[in-house]
Structure 1
Amino acid sequence: MAQEHLDPLTAQDARLLAREDACVHMLIGSVATFEGPAPEIGALREHIRQRLRVVPRYRQRPAFPPAGLGMPRWVDDPNFNLDYHVRHAALPAPGDGAKLQRMVARLFSQSLDRTKPLWELYVVEGLRADDGGRDRWALISKTHLALVDGADGIDLLTVMFDLDAESGAPARGRVPAHDAWQPRPLPTTAQLAAAALEDRAREAAELPRQTLTALSDPARLATGVLQTAGSLLSSVRPAAAAPLDEPIGPHRRFVTIPARLSEFRVIKDALDATVNDVVLATVAGGLRHWLHQRGARTAGVELYAAVPVSIRVGTEHEGFASQLTQVVAPLPVDLGDAAARVRLIRDAMRGVKRSAGALDADLIAGMDNFAPPTILAQASRLGAPPDSYSLAITNIPGPQSARFVLGRRLETIAPVGFLDEGRPLTVSVMSYAGSVHFGLLADYDALPDITEIAVGIEASLEELLQQVGAVEPDNVASRSRSPKRPVRA
């Protein structure tokens, strides 16, 4: 999709900007770690500069018409400075995983400057392996949700990665030979007002035709109703007042949890479930542990998660396509048996998948391109009714072959979601090259004990592996103390 100067924001993008305040930051991103020493910052900026043509929105900022006349518009930033957006940072020694996670939390506690393009990228040096081994470096991506717009939006991170260490072939598209970008002049206040009035006149003229088109195509109308509803399970059981129904402040905590994709596949095969079912069950186990650590009872507690799934839309004549939508899944924190939690979630999700024509999670991102950041943005835009869920859980299948930046291999990547009003916790999960990383973002004051959720997720995964016979009981404790698992903030 072309991203042109003076494009109006979509209604959804404008709502995302309008909903943002001192406490709600409409930000998503990731924290990635790489092998070897960090590249020279100038070389990385040039690498990014060459690929900005693929994502022109990253050199544009929103411009607002006077008196709220109409939609804001994307305009070229005449003062665009790549040095401002691609920043250099270093961790204090010893640069461990806990310090990196605290840096992520601090960065995602700060809103983006709306007078500039709505993204920042941090090159972080001084990161050491948790066993005190070789130096590594990290890349923290921070992007406003409005910047990756719609199903055709592309995140900058998607085009930054290469398929191999030598050729520099990007994961999506071709490296432009030359970047001759020149910003177009900023519109005046009068021009913005006139453009808004033209948009309103055009919308009024097109409304009758759009109505007739919808009424003459019942299948398309049904798809629109499904999109508007947002949640396929929200009417089953509304979420009662729960421990995760709290106001949020401006500050954040962030924790990552590593695991192996093979572990989830062993469990899902043994229990006739999906990887996503196992992910949801391990999060439920983590929340159960957290509640018990707080001295709370879990009997009778009902928690639900807003979960994106891919559904099949279209007709046999026109061809089918996949589209993300939101469902609400139970998180049975009242069940003490980990396998029973998987089975309950499996049965609940099977029903909604059959009714909606949902695809397996592996097909959401079953392509060779590095699309997980884009999928996270699209999933974060979906909305279930606020009183139908306790937290959002997004499971993003990524590529299983290695990716590179300037010849440095990507080792791990953990997603960072966003907190909505009254939702002090969000869980984002991403798989890559045989690994799985959970990213837990929480409100600083509401969840000072977020580490207990991480401990519970790890324990729940270990219990499931033991129940399906993947590990011996005597090996569970030693696996939990494995040096491969980073110290958490």
Structure 2
Amino acid sequence: MAQRLSSGDLTILARETARTPLHNATLEIFQPGPDGFGYDDVLAHIEDRIAFVPRYRQRLRTSPGRLTNPVWIDDTSFDLTYHVRRSALPRPGTTEQLRDLVARVVSRRLDRARPLWEMYVVEGLEGGRVALFSKSHQVLVDGSRTVDIGQVLLDVDPGPRQLVREDWTPHPAPTGPGLLLGGVRDLALDPARAVDTARSTVGSVRRGAGVVGERVGAAVGLHRRRPGGDLPFTLEPSEQRRVALVRTALRDYRTVRRVHGGTVNDVVLATVAGAVRTWLMTRAESVSAGRRLRALVPMSVIDEESEPTSLGSSVIGHLIDLPIGEPSPVVRLHQVSYALRAHSETGRAVAADRIAGVAGFAPTTFHALGTRVALEDDHDVHLVLTNVPGPQFPMFAARAEMTESYPVPPLLPGFGLSIGVTSYDGSVGYGLVADREALPDVEVLAQCLRESLDELLDTARDDRARAPRGRATEGPRR
């Protein structure tokens, strides 16, 4: 039986516009193995693994007159080469060139007439490296029936493995009358679906009107400030993006944690707070005492009242006020730790090592779930920040080692900046996505992240140097 979209998915589709394409993306960089790692290798590898995510060979189908909710059906003309695309950078193949390519690709919406995902094999990076840049629509990854394809492509060792060719045959597409009759039957069994369908239809009409308004606004170069937004990135985005990537060492966060206490997550959030503070100062913006940035930070919990995902936990939104008005990096960290301590003491929080131990490369799926939570949240916030721990050992795809991983989160309606963080094999990678017109200096913010971490690290080194011999400076671990 065809699976119908949930009410949450209908809402997501209704909110998507040309200015806010709602796909989650991931950039991964690989060092080829002895047999190489080119387009054909990636294509064969995905063909072998796509059976684990059957939704990636399905597309959306609406019923006549949109009287019932859309359903997922097999794409009878599915072509893997359409979804897995080959690209290359001109010499010298720098990170800056890769970042610009990612920004252009992430700005474009996915084609709803096809399965809602794309992957780009980017060759020509310095040192012979190869990048995989993948996009999956928000309605495609729910963490229950479907995880992100990136979670099933990686292995804990280089192999080799014998590819298993699946003899996949798509189910015939249902007829229009069949879809309508099936929808009527579902509505009879679940009358609440009728309300969802009505909301979806109204949302589609509003979305169409919104697109016209967006085009008019873009033509005159307008950026609408979100009500209550008092930061440079609390605005409605344009259709184009900028992307910045920051790679840091996990050992630095652990050093700060050992000296000052708290968790690695606390140090990450304090680093972001310090970076935004410094960045605002470069813009001559106010960072007066007491000024705060309200962030929505999705977190994994064990909650009997929430439906767990196939990853073994639920994801909820946690609100935290980041103290960007506080000049002391240590005080900022202590304030963040205090604000998050209540969450940890509930007993529902999922430890970072448990998340990192989920089979496959789970950060790709957890970031998508975090975005879903943010879309459903109705609180007035300035920034959505997803931070997901990954495995602390090398992982491989088609015998090539993944050396770096960066989340590339979407810009949601009303936001001109989003930040994703993934830790993997001793590194912590930040992916910053910003509106191209409103935040031309997002690279400055990226540099401020590095400086904010260095500032915290310097305080930890100073405290260790001042500690009397024999006195422990180890803080609580997590």
Q: Alpha carbons of 1:72 and 1:457: their partners in 2 closer, same or farther (altered >3 Å)?
A: same
Q: CA deviation at 1:243?
A: 2.9
Does 1:452 pair with 2:444? yes
Match of 2:430 among 429, 433, 438: 438
Q: 2:389, 2:423 within 8 Å by CA — same for their partners in 1?
A: yes
- Where 2:72 maps in the other structure, the secondary structure is strand
- The aligned counterpart of 1:410 is 402
Question: Structure 1 CA distance, aligned partners of 2:228 and 2:238?
Answer: 22
Q: Which amino acid aligns with 1:351?
A: A
| 1:183 and 2:170 are equivalent in the alignment | yes
User: CA separation of 1:388/1:358 partners in 2, compared to 1, >3 Å: closer, same or farther?
Assistant: farther
Alignment partner of 2:28 out of 7, 16, 32: 32
Q: Distance in 1 between matches of 2:462 and 2:159?
A: 38
| Aligned equivalent of 1:346 | 337
- CA deviations on 1:268-322 (whole Å, 9 max, x unpaired) are 222211111111111111111111111111115321111011222239xxxxx63
Q: Which residue of 2 aligns with 1:203?
A: 190
Q: What residue identity is the alignment partner of 2:240?
A: H
Q: What residue in structure 2 maps to residue 12 of structure 1?
A: 8
Return closer, same or farther for 1:266/1:205 CA change in 2, 3 Å cut-off: closer
CA–CA separation in structure 1 for the residues paired with 2:258 and 2:90: 43
**Partner amino acid for 1:302?**
R
- Deviation at residue 69 of structure 1 after TM alignment: 1.4
Q: Secondary structure at the match of 2:301?
A: strand
In structure 2, the residue matched to 1:480 is none
SS at 1:270 equivalent: helix
Letter in 1 for 2:17: D
* Partner of residue 133, structure 2: 140
- The answer to whether the aligner puts 1:248 opposite 2:246 as a matched pair is no
Distance 1:163 1:64, change over 3 A: same
Deviates more, 1:27-36 or 1:116-125: 27-36
In 2, Cα distance between the equivalents of 1:36 and 1:121? Answer: 18
Per the alignment, residue 223 of structure 1 pairs with none
Amino acid at match of 1:468: A
Tell me the equivalent position of 2:156: 163
1:485 aligns with: none
Unaligned ranges ≥5, structure 1: 129-133, 169-174, 208-237, 316-320, 474-489
> CA separation in 1, counterparts of 2:280 and 2:357?
36
Give the alignment's TM-score, normalised by structure 1. Answer: 0.82
Out of 276, 285, 296, the position equivalent to 2:274 is 285
Offset at 1:428? 0.3
Match of 1:50 among 48, 67, 92: 48
Residue number in structure 2 paired with 1:308: 298
Deviation at 1:189, TM superposition (A): 1.8
Distance of 1:405 and 1:382 partners within structure 2: 29
Structure 1 residues 95-244: aligned runs within 5 Å: 95-128=93-126, 134-168=127-161, 177-204=164-191, 241-244=230-233
Distance 1:363 1:388, change over 3 A: farther
Q: Is the 8 A contact 1:36 1:135 kept in 2?
A: yes
Distance 1:407 1:355 in 2: 42
- Structure 1 residue 35: deviation in Å? 1.0
Per the TM alignment, residue 463 of structure 1 is displaced from its structure 2 partner at its CA by 0.4
Alpha-carbon contact 1:32-1:138 (below 8 Å) kept: yes
Q: Following TM superposition, by how much is the alpha carbon of 1:81 offset from its aligned partner in structure 2, in angstroms?
A: 0.4
Q: State the partner residue of 1:234.
A: none
1:70 corresponds to? 68
Contact 2:235 2:414 in 1 (8 A): yes
**2:295 paired with 1:297:** no
Q: Is the 8 A contact 2:47 2:165 kept in 1?
A: no
Amino-acid identity (%): 37
Deviations 1:416-459 (A, max 9, x none): 11111111111000011111100001111111111121111111
Check 1:307–1:239 CA distance in 2 against 1; reply closer, same or farther (3 A cut). farther
C-alpha change, 1:252 and 1:180, in structure 2 (3 Å) is same
- Return the letter of the residue paired with 1:142: K
Higher mean Cα deviation, 150-159 or 83-92? 150-159
Residue 386 of structure 1 and its aligned partner are, at CA, apart by 4.1
Q: Which moved more, 1:433-442 or 1:366-375?
A: 366-375
Distance apart, 1:325 and its partner CA: 0.7
- Whole-Å Cα distance in 1 between the matches of residues 354 and 321 of structure 2? 23
> How many Å separate the matches in 2 of 1:313 and 1:450?
37
How far is the alpha carbon of 1:355 from its aligned partner? 4.2
1:86 aligns with 2:121: no
Q: Secondary structure at the residue paired with 1:245?
A: coil
| Larger displacement relative to structure 2 (306-315 or 83-92) | 306-315
Letter in 2 for 1:418: P
CA contact 1:165–1:405 (8 Å) conserved in 2: yes
Q: CA RMSD in A?
A: 2.3
Letter in 2 for 1:275: V
Deviation at 1:382, TM superposition (A): 0.4
Decide whether aligned partners of structure 1 residues 74 and 470 sit closer, same or farther in structure 2, where only a CA change above 3 A counts: farther
Question: Partner residue of 1:330?
Answer: 321
CA distance in 1 between counterparts of 2:26 and 2:78 reads 23
Aligned-partner Cα distance in 1 for 2:86–2:353: 35
In the alignment, what sits opposite 1:212? none
Is 2:153–2:360's contact at 8 Å kept on the other side of the alignment? no
Question: 1:382 aligns to what SS in structure 2?
Answer: helix
Question: Which one-letter code corresponds to 1:425 in the other structure?
Answer: L
Q: How far 1:357 moved relative to its partner?
A: 2.8
1:358 & 1:239 partners in 2: Cα distance?
31
Between 76-85 and 159-168, report the one with greater CA deviation.
159-168
Going from structure 1 to structure 2, the CA distance change for 1:198 and 1:105 (only over 3 Å counts) comes to same
1:157-214 C-alpha deviation (Å, 9 max, x unpaired): 111112211233xxxxxx873311111111222222112111111113999xxxxxxx
Shift of 1:395: 0.7
Q: Could you tell me how far 1:17 is from its partner in structure 2?
A: 1.5
Q: Could you tell me which amino acid in structure 2 is paired with residue 340 of structure 1?
A: V
Q: Deviations for 1:377-433, whole angstroms, at most 9, x for unmatched residues?
A: 111110364442111111110011111111111110101111111111110000111
Q: Is the 8 A contact 2:355 2:390 kept in 1?
A: no
* SS of equivalent to 2:99: helix
Helix, strand or coil for the counterpart of 1:313?
coil
Give SS of 1:292's match: helix
8 Å contact kept, 2:237–2:435 = yes
CA separation of 1:146/1:312 partners in 2, compared to 1, >3 Å: closer, same or farther? same
Does the aligned pair in 1 maintain the 2:143–2:365 contact within 8 Å? no
Q: Closer, same or farther in 2 for the Cα pair 1:372/1:325, shift >3 Å?
A: same
| Secondary structure at 1:328 match in 2 | strand
Question: SS state of the match for residue 422, structure 1?
Answer: coil
